[in-house]
Amino acid sequence: MVRCFLIHSVCPLSELPAGDSRLLYCRLFAPGDGLLTGQLRERSPAERSLLRGEKAAVVARQVRSAVSLSREASGGRPPGEALPGDEALALQDASSGVVRLRAGDPFSEEMSALWLGVQSLGFTLVCEPHENLLLAEGTLRTLTRHCLEHLHMLGPGSEVLLRSNRIDALLSRLLPHGQLLFLNHRFAQSLEKDVAAYMAK
Amino acid sequence: MFSHGSESLIKQAREIQEPELQKFYCRLGKLLVGKELGHETMDSLQRLHLILSATKCTRTLPVELHKRLLSLLSSPVEQLQVLSSAVLRETLPLSGQELNYSQENVQLNSHSAALLLSQAGSRADLSSLCAQLLRGLDSRQPEGPTHSLTHTLPVLNAVLTHSPESLNDDNVTLLSKKLVDWLRYASIIQGGGASAGGFFTGPRSRQPVPTAELDGTVSGDFFTVLCVGQGFTEDQWMNVYSFSMLHHWLLTYHTAPSGNTFTDTDDRSEVDGSVVSMVSATSSSSRLLPPKERLREKAFQYCLRLIEQSDRKALKRTDTELQKACLVEAVCILDCVCVEDTSLVYRTFPYVKPLFGRLSSDLTFARVLLPIAQFYLNHGEMAAVDCESLWKLVFGRFPAELFNDPFLAHELLRFLRLNLESLVLRVPQYPRSFPNLLKFLAWDSPAVVDDFVDLLPSLVTVETAVELLHTLLDLPCLSATLVLQLRSTSSPISEPGGRGLLSLDAFRSPSFRGLFLYLLRPEAGSGDTIDRLSTLHEFLAESADWPRVVQCSQTVPVLLHIFFNTVITVADPKLLAHLILVMLERSSLLLNLPRYMKEIHRVFSCHLLRLCKLHPSLVVDQSHVLLEFAGTTASVYSKEEIYTHVVWALGEYLSVSCDSRCSVTLITSCFETLEAVLFEITSSTPPPGACCPAPRVITTLISALAKLASRSHDLIPRVSLFLSKLRTVTRAGSVAWCADEEDLVAIVTRGEELWSLLRTPGVAQSVLTPPPHVTTPQWHRDTNLSMSLQLRTLTSLTHTQ
């Protein structure tokens, strides 16, 4: 089960303190973590919602530091600016890795956060560790490719904020409710046609 | 990419004022009342979502607007479903209007299910949601859209993650039956009206076309995720969704029966019992099995088919990647069912063993081999399968050749963490393979240091502790060497323009290659360290600013702490003595990185002290080594931290009460050594390049001398001579060896305190060399002192509160 999918900044931003990350898209799947172990039951819905937001922020910050350390270690050259239309190239150049999130930090169980760093943005998938990480990695790449293409993310626009419903629709096909899917190229094609039809409207 | 525009949008959304927001709600409410819901409505809804998600606190919408959005969840336009679900997920549910989880006769779409999931407040909510979904599955309308029910399984899977009890036994049985149908009996005809005919055939000659394998051949067996067709039928889709959740389902509802624990003692009884069950397990009368067992059997068959299908050469690259993922999943599921029913192990190995053979030579399948390793670890002993070649891969080739694959590193280290106890017991290669395993850390420290914090204690053994210490200290060197190794294979032999790296040349030169090869060794046992370590450090000096090396050096102190904390639990005094020796030797033999030496010295000092405190006799034992170290004046300036602690330890523990072998001669020679150093540093300026010795060094030396003098009274006059000299010199004003006047005063004061103490040698002895019962008080054991304690205890027991 994938717990959440995030799109967030991985470059320094003047408006934020150093090391902090701006969340552009955050989708947490499933009922709240710890809901039924009693931890969350005492809290009001408002508190629970706040808690979920905080967890996403913690993950984003940890991934941000992982991305910058990884980029520093592999040469420190700032990621090249690919132009719109070069999504495949941007994806190829992307750095990737996985962060181990210990139990309690921030989810109640241990999690693995897979990340892809495409220029100034990070795409993160938080999975339960017994999950098939090979499949998760493939799914993350596919999701990133679609986000880059359909939301023109290599350009200067802010469509990721103004058209987040497209990401929701994409997730509902390729990662429904956090379920990773074993899709061969035919199944994938069929779903992608569906997605393209949605985006065209 | 991430533009200034995005930042300002977020800022605007966050800072929207309340009146403006209310106006916006009004406008949106009006738009939603209209019949035609066009672009403006969508944009407004999207903007509302942005406003709601930009702030941390969750808002409540006006009741009317909230109700309108709820009704949009079942709109025929998908955009509206998506947007309303997204907006409602960001708001608080209306009080008193909690979502109705048990609506009858309503087909939940994926987006409304998402909302129900995110706002579920209790187990009861989730149970009702499950019940509703299962009703939807049962009462299937044949004319519904293709994907209308495909979200059911993912939603159920999401519920299972947090609340497996939401499905009662009946539901579990019902779903088990459905899963069996979808997994094993899905249609093998291509859906979507595909036909075998060409351009000229009409609709009448359309023949049903069977599905194909990934390499193009026609499918000969039941449908799986690795089968393709022009289009797919509904049950083929459900096949995909079922397999996608199968592992999780089995983990949740098919836990191992209590008798099948995996300890060594159980294995013997299993061998006898399984001969009988092997026969019954291969029977094909699976129809007679109860639903749970039937699902297990079908899952088993599905996985075996996937393993067979993965041997085919897929025509598309993405399908090759899928085959790998399927292999991983299949082996994991097989492991799971074999844990539940151990009789299946004998049916499984004939497939898993050849799979291992096929994949073991291809490093691109490394990540697939890890679940196979788990399978072998869980069931290999039972089936008496030889795992040697597997461990050679896991501890040999993978770390040595794939250290730079972050995903493999993560998964391999996780495998080690989860199976630590079994590995330590059953796989002798594991503790010896630390030189290889540390390559993961040397390459990408920030990502894996957490894992090594957990793994390092298991790698500390009495036989290899010294070598491990050397290896940890040289981790930055290993890091640099790995960088050189990769650079060596990727860059040309001679760079044009001659701007080659000194270290790279050394790496490639045959005369020095051996040094680097020692660092790259796969196993411990071939020597604790090398003689020409300083040469190696010289070659690698230019790597001091390579980011990877710097990151690695920052993790070494933490690991050293863990190493020492563990080693004192397993080591005997002989080993500890050896470790002290190593610490003193290596304190000057480290790669020259900016803060590295200082940090390592700090760790050494801390643990040196701990070791001496635990085994005070070590000081007398290793006195010649310690004295040699303490007698080197240069150490005062270059290794101040360690020097101070060594001197302190000598002063504290070089006494008869700590070890009876401590003779007067020993005390005297120690005194003379320290005295000489003290004279030297207090009578001259520091050598060029060094700053003044810290006051702490000087006071520690003085204290140590006083302590030693208190044990051998004829040394006392020498101490008083020194202290009077000190007083005279400092009265003259500033001195070359102490920059701060306050520090000088403190040093002199300490000297005077000790001098006045030493004037009464008997008192000095009991203060400066207290007997053990003073330093480790156990008042309750002392017959004189315990009386008051006993009385107090009796009183509190007898007096009722």
Q: How far apart are CA B350 and CA B370, in angstroms?
A: 18
What is the SS3 assignment for B596? helix
Q: Is the pLDDT of residue B279 over 50?
A: no
| CA-based nearest residue in chain B for residue A182 | B244
The sign of the CA dihedral B156, B157, B158, B159 is positive
Which of A128, A130, A181 is closest, CB to CB, to B240? A181
pLDDT attached to residue B412:
97
pLDDT attached to residue A78:
63
When mean pLDDT is compared over B156-160, B404-408, B614-618, the highest value belongs to: B404-408
Q: Return the number of other C-beta atoms located less than 10 Å from residue B734's C-beta.
A: 11
Instruction: For residue B161, list chain A residues with Cβ-Cβ distance below 8 A.
Output: 1, 30, 128
Buried b (16+ CB within 10 A) or exposed e, A144-162: bbbbbbbbbbbeebbbbbb
pLDDT attached to residue B140:
59
**Neighbouring-strand partners of residue A4:** A28, A126
Q: How far apart are CA B50 and CA B550, in angstroms?
A: 41
| CA-based nearest residue in chain B for residue A11 | B2
Over residues B198-209, mean pLDDT: 58
Tens digits of residue pLDDT in A123-141: 999 999 889 999 999 999 9
Single-letter code of the amino acid located at B93 = P
- Are A184 and B2 in contact (CB < 8 Å)? no
pLDDT attached to residue B385:
84
Q: How far is A31 from chain B (nearest CA, A)?
A: 5
B330 or B774, greater pLDDT: B330
pLDDT attached to residue A14:
82
- Are B154 and A179 in contact (CB < 8 Å)? yes
Buried b (16+ CB within 10 A) or exposed e, B492-524: eeeeeeeeebebbebbeeeebeebbebbbebeb
Burial class (CB in 10 A: 0-12, 13-18, 19+), B778: exposed
Residue B520: pLDDT band with limits 50, 70, 90:
very high
Instruction: For residue A163, list chain B residues with Cβ-Cβ distance below 8 A.
Output: 46
Q: Up-side HSE of residue A77: CA atoms within 13 Å toward CB?
A: 8
Q: How far apart are CA A145 and CA A154, in angstroms?
A: 11
Tens digits of residue pLDDT in B651-661: 999 988 888 88
pLDDT attached to residue B258:
36
Buried b (16+ CB within 10 A) or exposed e, A14-23: eeeeeebbbb
| CA-based nearest residue in chain A for residue B234 | A187
The pTM (predicted TM-score) of the whole model is: 0.90
Tens digits of residue pLDDT in A33-54: 655 555 555 667 777 778 888 8
In eight-state DSSP terms, residue A78 is P
Over residues B377-402, mean pLDDT: 91
Q: What residues have CB less than 8 Å from B162, skipping those under 6 apart?
A: A30, A31, A33, A35, A36, B126
In eight-state DSSP terms, residue B231 is B
Q: Which of B480, B459, B479, B575 is nearest to B523 (CA)?
A: B459
Tens digits of residue pLDDT in B408-430: 999 999 999 999 999 999 999 99
Q: Which of B450, B597, B433 is nearest to B523 (CA)?
A: B433
Q: Is the pLDDT of residue B300 over 60?
A: yes
Mutate to test the interface with A, among B2, B119, B157 (most CBs of A within 10 A): B2
B288 or B335, greater pLDDT: B335
- Strand A23-28 and strand A95-101: the pairing is unpaired
Q: How far is CA B171 from the centre of its chain?
A: 38
Q: How far apart are CA B549 and CA B475, in angstroms?
A: 8
End-to-end CA distance of chain A: give it in Å, rounded.
Answer: 30
Which of B82, B86, B414 is closest, CB to CB, to A129? B414
Mutate to test the interface with A, among B1, B336, B408 (most CBs of A within 10 A): B1
Instruction: For residue A158, list chain B residues with Cβ-Cβ distance below 8 A.
Output: 3, 5-6, 9
- Are B414 and A177 in contact (CB < 8 Å)? no
Q: How far is A58 from chain B (nearest CA, A)?
A: 14
Mean pLDDT for chain A?
A: 87
According to DSSP H, which parts of B103-233 are helical? 110-118, 123-138, 152-162, 169-184
pLDDT attached to residue B497:
46
Q: What residues have CB less than 8 Å from B103, skipping those under 6 apart?
A: B132
Over residues B740-744, mean pLDDT: 86
Q: Does A39 touch chain B (CB under 8 A)?
A: no
Structure tokens at B207: 């023949």
Q: How far is A45 from chain B (nearest CA, A)?
A: 7
Size of interface A-B (CB pairs under 8 A): 248
- Are A165 and B7 in contact (CB < 8 Å)? no
**3-class SS shares of chain A: helix, strand, coil, % to 5:** 45, 20, 40
Cα separation values, B432 from B391, B450, B474, B571, Å: 12, 21, 17, 17
- Reduced 3-state DSSP string for B782-794: CCCCHHHHHHHHH
Residues B580 and B646: beta-carbon distance below 8 Å: no
Tens digits of residue pLDDT in B210-262: 888 998 888 889 999 999 988 888 889 999 999 999 999 999 988 755 334 34
User: Which of 107-126 (A) contact B at CB < 8 A?
Assistant: 112, 114, 118-121
pLDDT attached to residue B90:
86
Dihedral, CA of residue B395, residue B401, residue B403 and residue B408, to nearest 10 = -70
What is the SS3 assignment for B210? strand
User: Which of 127-166 (A) contact B at CB < 8 A?
Assistant: 128-130, 132-135, 137-138, 153-154, 156-158, 160-165
Q: How far apart are CA B76 and CA A169, in angstroms?
A: 15
Single-letter code of the amino acid located at B37 = L
pLDDT attached to residue B197:
47
Instruction: For residue A119, list chain B residues with Cβ-Cβ distance below 8 A.
Output: 1
Q: How far apart are CA B468 and CA B611, in angstroms?
A: 18
Q: Is the pLDDT of residue B146 over 60?
A: no
**Angle, CA B107 vertex, CA B103 and CA B108 arms, to 5°:** 80
Q: How far is B226 from chain A (nearest CA, A)?
A: 6
B395 or B92, greater pLDDT: B395
- Are B86 and A133 in contact (CB < 8 Å)? no
Residues B154 and A179: beta-carbon distance below 8 Å: yes
Which of A135, A165, A185 is closest, CB to CB, to B316? A185
**Angle, CA A61 vertex, CA A59 and CA A66 arms, to 5°:** 95
User: Which of 406-465 (B) contact A at CB < 8 A?
Assistant: 406-407, 410-411, 414, 444, 446-447, 450-451
Burial class (CB in 10 A: 0-12, 13-18, 19+), A169: buried
Residue A92: pLDDT band with limits 50, 70, 90:
confident
- Are B158 and A138 in contact (CB < 8 Å)? no
Over residues B148-169, mean pLDDT: 85
Tens digits of residue pLDDT in B581-637: 999 999 999 999 989 999 999 999 999 999 999 999 999 999 999 999 999 998 888
Q: How far apart are CA B776 and CA B771, in angstroms?
A: 9
Q: How far is B12 from chain A (nearest CA, A)?
A: 12
- Are B3 and A156 in contact (CB < 8 Å)? yes
- Are B325 and A182 in contact (CB < 8 Å)? yes
- The lowest-confidence range among A8-17, A97-106, B313-322, B571-580 is A8-17
pLDDT attached to residue B193:
54
Q: How far is B465 from chain A (nearest CA, A)?
A: 28
Q: At what angle do helices B573-586 and B596-614 cross, to 10 degrees?
A: 150
Over residues B673-685, mean pLDDT: 89
Instruction: For residue B406, list chain A residues with Cβ-Cβ distance below 8 A.
Output: 70, 96-98
**Neighbouring-strand partners of residue A100:** A112
| CA-based nearest residue in chain B for residue A12 | B2
- Are A46 and B3 in contact (CB < 8 Å)? no
Q: How far apart are CA B179 and CA B246, in angstroms?
A: 8
pLDDT attached to residue B266:
39
Q: Is the pLDDT of residue B547 over 50?
A: yes
